[in-house]
Chain A
Amino acid sequence: MYKFFLCFRYLKSRGIAYLAVLGVVLCVFMMVVVISLFTGFINNIEKAAKGLFGDVVMSAEGQHGLAYYDEFIAEVRKKVPEVREASPYILSYGMLRISGQEHYRNPVQIAGIRLPEHAEVSAFGKGLFVQKSGKLSWDPPVKDLIARIEQESKRTGELKSKREARKFDGPHRPLEQANEIERIGNALRLQEEAVANLRNIDRNRAELTSLQAQLEEALARGVGREDVDQGRKALAQARADNVAPDKIEAMESELEALEKAVVRLETIQRQTSYYERIAYENPDRRVVLGLGIEALSFRTDTGDVVRLWTPGQKVILYVFPLGRRSMDMSALSPEIGNFSVIDDNRSGVPPIDSAFVYVPFETLQKLNHMEAEYSQEDPKLVVAPARCSQIIFKVKADQPTEEELRGISRRIERAWLGFRGRFPGAAMTSVSVETWRQRQHELLSTVEGQRIMMIVILSIVSMVAVILIFVILYVLVMQKTADVGILKAIGASSTGVAGVFLLYGAALAAVGAAIGVILGYRFVRNINQIADWLATEFGFTPFRYGFLFDRFPDEIQLHTVVWVVFAAILAGIIGALRPAIKAARMQPVEALRYE
């Protein structure tokens, strides 16, 4: 009993005990914060890495790719029922230019994807900005674009006023601050213009639709310039043949009506093409930008994204047709395509987001020279089949383990072996099937390395806590030597005396851990607000998020807290062990003499 009692009293009344508690508080606080943030970051990276390429990816070595992909997908669906969805994918390289910006050239990786299929096999849909929900398409409703860009311009406006209101921006960077405000201002202006343009396009689209209907109707009636010519000829013939004047009159009025109809048809056709031109390129020529492509978006030093692209913005893609069958590098001249930007995508993996653009699968297939080739004699005879670079598979299980995925990979491989026998031209190079982990091995091993480093650093921190508790308890035991003597004189056993100090160490650690956990929890939960506040009030941006994520992960895992508290209490006991043994071994006579 006296162990608890004395331990409690020591805890309450010792100045030095508060120092130990403070030490534990700081250690625990730091551990909770660092582990939570790091685990959050690592989880985000893993999630992003997984989202990039579905669960399992099949690819062919080199640039030749895989043919008969749709047939193979159908076969996999039959033979490997665990596969829920699959989609072909093309990867090529090229350069991006922006219409009207002479100086801008940006090397990019170009992905050809099918929508909405690609969103079914990867996390692509979750990273889109405009198309937040609904069925994804290369031709999203203009109303959606307007709504999103309106929201965005409101956000940019708020960002601008927040940035302008920042009180202190560091003494050395006035130019940087002015530049940033100017860039946000530009973005805001572009976005506002885009809203006006899109409204215009929306109106034009309505008219376009009605014109297109009229055009179809007129075409269905089968009138055309030839009909007018034929009518004229018939009229001249009738006049020459001296046909009755009432009949000629009837023919004349019929011809007049025909001519009017034709003129109208031509007007409609002209208007339609005009509207089509000003509204949008056709849906085959749409592009989704990775959010991070230079000059089309940027991040402020507080990590907020500012979009400089607006829907309908024209960009030019130079695609190097790497999929060409007979590769002659000296003859590799790029294919050029005009595209309209309709959306952007954030995968969460910075090197991907700053380098990738996404275009329709069939479009890239043509630009990359992977489309089907037909016989010159018989245009219906396929000489060479269309190809893709990869096939991405998504399995049915929600959280498949790596083992399960490897099993499925092997079954896909087996399916491929059978398929290859029946379609000998399906791949010209060797084919591999990998799980997302195998594919992202490099990225994930870097992350794993960082995780190990964090554990090492935190272990050192824990050692500091142990040593701190040890030193403080040691001092305390020295101070309490006489107490140890008394305790023994009134019959306390050596283990009992040791128990007082062990309990005391554990209690110091437990109190410190409790406070540290509470503080750490509050800090992590509010870390984004704290960072914002530091940036706005003091211009202090210690955590330049820069590239990774625009917000800090603010989740705390229960097991982290349990682990840290457990470790702290253990550290307290270990720290108290030596002083406790010293107290237990102390001779009561010596202890009593100690004054």
Chain B
Amino acid sequence: MSKPPAILVEGVHKTYRLGRQDLHVLRGVDCTIGDGEFVAIVGASGSGKSTLLHLIGLLDRADEGGITLDDRNVMGLSAGACNRMRRHEIGFVFQFYHLFSELNVLDNAMLPAMVDTPLLNWFSRRKKLRAKAAGILDDVGLGDRLKHRPRELSGGERQRVAIARALMNDPSILLADEPTGNLDSKTGAKIMKLLKRCNANGQTILMVTHDSDIAAQADRILHLVDGLMMEPL
């Protein structure tokens, strides 16, 4: 028996209300992303790429259709169950890094573990988690910047901290929203290399981008046009 797909999207619709107008962003999107795949979604600006990513990441709810993550239907999940899924199964990487400026590199990377650990358990686990975060940061090449604040880092370094943060709770799915959108091509290439390494380690990666060169580095490319998924040519 073959492994179930990591992400299964079936007939998903999403409409936003902008003032008096309804904006039908997704009009019945279907797609399947296999376990351990590295898939890029490309499309023009406003085509609904990020919206799809947010629905898959449980940051928003679809109006219609079904989403299954790791063989689990997530459409009817309670808020608490969604939170748990986000903590354990999904890692996010954003275009604008979204790091906490008050925290240093190590603490930023460790934040998901903190969110996942109750206060009473924190003191017994702290050392282990700290070592784990330091290990991941070392992996992404920031072993010597643990105590730095985000403002002391370059864009590429910041994105690497964001990736380390996304990896902290060992999620099976990594969702990346324009991870190189704010970086020059050289730095973007480094980030792609890092993502591919994650993929090689077994993580399913779904990446949204409008840059076809970046998308070309993925295993598979999905085209989203006006809220509909186009078959690959």
Contacts and interface: CB of A to CB of B under 8 A. Distances in A.
A101 B185 CA distance: 105
A491 B96 contact: no
A257 interface: no
Given A485-B98, A491-B84, A493-B80, A1 B112 contact: no
Contacts of A490: 86-87, 92, 111-112, 115, 165
A309 B36 CA distance: 103
Interface string A288-305: 000000000000000000
A516 B102 CA distance: 26
B183 interface: no
A4 B112 CA distance: 14
Interface stretch (B52-60, B63-71, B207-215): B52-60
A197 B161 CA distance: 93
B83 interface: yes
Interface in B130-160: none
B219 interface: no
B197 to A, nearest CB: 21
Contacts of A14: 102
Contact of A2 (B60, B80, B111): B111
Contacts of B92: 489-490
Interface residues of A, number: 28
A73 to B, nearest CB: 70
Contact of A492 (B57, B115, B119): B115
B87 A491 contact: yes
A487 B59 CA distance: 11
A488 B94 CA distance: 14
Given A2-B114, A490-B111, A491-B87, A13 B54 contact: no
Contacts of A592: 59, 94, 98
A483 B101 CA distance: 9
Contacts of A431: none
A595 B96 contact: yes
Contacts of A489: 57, 59, 86, 92, 98
Interface string B31-71: 00000000000000000000000100101100000000000
A18 to B, nearest CB: 14
A8 to B, nearest CB: 9
A493 B94 CA distance: 20
Interface in B72-110: 79-80, 83-88, 92, 94, 96, 98, 100-103, 107
A292 B79 CA distance: 75
Contact of B83 (A1, A10, A493): A493
A1 B112 CA distance: 11
A43 interface: no
Contacts of A6: 100, 102
Given A496-B115, A589-B60, A10 B87 contact: no
Contacts of B85: 491
A405 B117 CA distance: 62
Contacts of A12: 102
B116 interface: yes
A2 B115 contact: yes
User: For B57, B112, B114, B115, which residue has the most chain A Cβ atoms within 10 angstroms?
Assistant: B115
Interface in B178-203: none
B117 to A, nearest CB: 5
A492 B100 contact: no
A30 B167 CA distance: 50
A54 interface: no
A5 B79 contact: no
A493 B165 CA distance: 18
A471 interface: no
A589 B94 CA distance: 12
A489 B90 CA distance: 9
A587 interface: yes
A588 interface: yes
B118 interface: yes
Contact of B98 (A1, A2, A482, A493): A482
Nearest to B117: A1
User: For A2, A10, A487, A588, which residue has the most chain B Cβ atoms within 10 angstroms?
Assistant: A2
B115 A4 contact: no
* 4 A-B pairs with least C-beta separation: A491-B87, A491-B86, A2-B114, A1-B122
Interface of A: 1-2, 4-6, 9-10, 12-14, 482-483, 485-494, 496, 587-589, 592, 595
26 contacts: A1-B114, A1-B117, A2-B114, A5-B114, A14-B102, A483-B100, A486-B98, A486-B111, A488-B59, A489-B59, A489-B98, A490-B86, A490-B111, A490-B112, A491-B85, A491-B86, A491-B87, A491-B115, A491-B116, A492-B83, A492-B115, A493-B79, A493-B80, A588-B59, A589-B54, A589-B60
